[in-house]
Amino acid sequence: MELNVKQDCIGVDWSAVSAILKTVGMAYHEPEALRRAFEASHTTVFIYRAGQLIGFGRAISDGVYQAAIYDCAVLPEFQGKGHGATLMKNILAQIVDCNVILYASPGKEGFYQKIGFRKMKTGMAHFKNSKSMKERGFTE
C-alpha cells in the first residue's frame, strides 16, 4: 500500500494526532494545542497510508544550526515496518545543517541510535511536570 508523506499542516486532523499520541502513551495535548504547536514548528512530517494518518513528528528550529525533535509517533499496528525511520529521514532532511537534539521515551533509545543519535552526557531538562517525568524515567 502506497505511503503519502506530507510536510505541511494543511488538512491535518488534529483529533487524530491527539488520539495517536494518547494511544502510544505520549503526553496528552488538546487537538487545538497540537495544531498551534505543529503550525509553529520549523518542520512537520505526516505519514498517511491509504488516506489514514499513521505517523507524524516535528522539529522546532532556528533553521540555521540548532533543532530539536518532538512528538514522533507511529500507530502501534504500523510500528516495526520502517515508518518511524521514514519519518525521521524526512524530518532530518529539512534540518541538515543543524545539530539535532531530542529526548527519547524510555526504551526507544535504540531506535534513535540506529539512525545516528548518541546519548548526551550533559543533557538537562526543566520539565513543567517534573515529578511525573521523573516517575516515568526521563530524569534522575
Ligand X SMILES: CC(C)(COP(=O)(O)OP(=O)(O)OC[C@H]1O[C@@H](n2cnc3c(N)ncnc32)[C@H](O)[C@@H]1OP(=O)(O)O)[C@@H](O)C(=O)NCCC(=O)NCCS
Residues that bind ligand X (CB under 6 A): 24, 26, 72-74, 79-85, 104-105, 107-108, 110-111, 114
Q: Which is nearer to ligand X, 50 or 64 (CB)?
A: 50
Q: Which is nearer to ligand X, 14 or 56 (CB)?
A: 56
Q: Pairing state of beta strands 3-6 and 66-74? A: unpaired
Work out how close the CB of 50 gets to ligand X at its nearest, in angstroms, rounded to a whole number. Answer: 17
Q: How far apart are CA 133 and CA 115, in angstroms?
A: 25
Q: Pairing state of beta strands 52-61 and 43-49? A: antiparallel
Work out how close the CB of 78 gets to ligand X at its nearest, in angstroms, rounded to a whole number. Answer: 7
Work out how close the CB of 115 gets to ligand X at its nearest, in angstroms, rounded to a whole number. Answer: 7
Residue by residue, DSSP assigns 80-128 as TSSHHHHHHHHHHTTSTTSEEE--PPTT-HHHHHHTT----SS-----T
Work out how close the CB of 74 gets to ligand X at its nearest, in angstroms, rounded to a whole number. Answer: 4
Q: Which is nearer to ligand X, 9 or 74 (CB)?
A: 74
Q: How far apart are CA 42 and CA 96, in angstroms?
A: 13
Q: Which is nearer to ligand X, 42 or 138 (CB)?
A: 138
